[in-house]
Amino acid sequence: MKTHTPASIICTHPLTEPIDGVQVFQVKPVIKLSFDGILLFANSQGIDFLDELAAFVKQPAIKFLINNCPSMLDPHCNIDLCCQLPEMKYYFSVVAFKEAGYIGIYGYRMVRKSSKGSLVA
pLDDT per position as a tens digit, 59-118: 999 999 999 999 999 999 999 999 999 888 999 999 999 999 999 999 999 888 765 544
Task: Report how far Cα 97 is from the mean position of its chain's Cα atoms.
Answer: 18
Nearest-5° Cα angle at 47, 79 to 96: 25
Domains and CATH numbers, the chain: 8-13+22-113 (3.30.450)
How far apart (Å, rounded) are the C-alpha atoms in residues 105 and 114? 26
Q: Which pLDDT score is estimated for 112?
A: 84
CA distance 49 to 30: 10
pLDDT of residue 27: 83
pLDDT in tens, 18-70: 445 554 447 899 999 999 999 999 999 999 999 999 999 999 999 999 999 99
Q: What is the pLDDT of residue 21?
A: 52
Query: How many CB atoms sit inside 10 A of residue 77's CB?
Result: 20
CB 121 within 8 A of CB 112: yes
Exposed, middle or buried, 94 (CB in 10 Å: 0-12/13-18/19+)? buried
Global model pTM greater than 0.75: yes
